[in-house]
Amino acid sequence: MIGQRIGYIRVSTFDQNSDRQLENAQVVRTFIDKASGKDIKRPQFEALMSFIRTGDTLVVHSMDRLACNLDDLRSIVQNLTQRSVRIEFIKENLTFSGEDSPMAILMLSVMGAFAEFERSLIRERQREGIALAKQRGVYRGRKRSLSEDQILTLRQQIKNGDKKAKLARTFGISRQTLYQYLGE
């Protein structure tokens, strides 16, 4: 019995367009994550892993959409092929079924290593760009969640004995952010 063709799409940010990834692929269901590929803790990826069954085929645009880390990529492919799930990577034109040739396994490792390398280069460029912007005095960091007036109000309410967790919810910030404002 031949299973279903299931699609997986991942984009890194909410404003990125995910439509092009499986544009001409015939799939019966698609799982879409709008999250970083730095790890496998992604809601739709986890839903996909629970949903997919023996005999199904997972269709993914490219290896770096599934994982940006070679260890995760290998682990995912091995997990799925052991469950008799085929994986098709459109861009690389590679399919894995568990009965893969040594050349296919080599290609998985090489292409996965390139995805991991690319992610490292992006992080390095980002750090360099931030450092240069700081030197020029144009980098201000992330926009503050609360205004100066709100921070003063928050500090006063803490002095009055209000609970920190409740104040964090009231101001719409995390407790970690609340503690950062209190430490300034």
| Residues 22, 111 within the same domain | yes
Q: Are the C-beta atoms of 68 and 114 separated by less than 8 Å?
A: no
Regarding whether 157 and 66 lie in a shared domain, the answer is no
Give pTM, 2 decimals. 0.68
Asked whether the predicted pLDDT for residue 1 surpasses 70, the reply is: no
Give the pLDDT mean for 95-124: 87
Look at residues 65, 92, 116 and tell me which one is the last residue of a structural domain: 116
Classify the phi-psi angles of 84: left when phi > 0, otherwise alpha if psi is within -120 to 50, otherwise beta: left
Considering the domain boundaries, does residue 126 fall inside one?
no
Distance, CA of 184 to CA of 182 (rounded, Å): 6
Shared domain check, 59 and 16? yes
Q: What is the per-residue pLDDT for 34?
A: 87
**Where does the pLDDT of residue 15 fall: very low under 50, low under 70, confident under 90, or very high at 90 and above?**
low
Whether 121 maps to a domain, the answer reads no
The answer to whether the beta carbons of residues 29 and 44 sit under 8 Å apart is: no
Q: What is the CATH number of the domain that holds 95?
A: 3.40.50.1390
Domain containing 162: what range?
Answer: 148-183
Has residue 143 got a pLDDT over 90? Answer: no
Is there a contact between 59 and 27 (Cβ–Cβ < 8 Å)? Answer: yes
In a domain, 17, yes or no: yes
29/102 same-domain check: yes
Q: What's the average model confidence in pLDDT over 142-149?
A: 83
For residues 60 and 68, the model is more confident at: 60
Residue 135 lies in a domain: no
Q: Is the domain of 176 the same as that of 112?
A: no
Query: 143 in a domain, yes or no?
Result: no
Indicate which residues carry an active-site annotation: 12
Residue 123 counted as domain residue: no
- Tell me the C-alpha distance between 119 and 153, whole Å: 41
Does any domain span residue 132?
A: no
Residue 52 has pLDDT above 90, yes or no: yes
Q: What's the mean pLDDT in 91-104? A: 87
Last residue of a domain, one of 98, 116, 134: 116
86-89 and 29-34 beta bridge pairing: unpaired
pLDDT at 61 over 90: yes
Pair (20, 83) in one structural domain:
yes
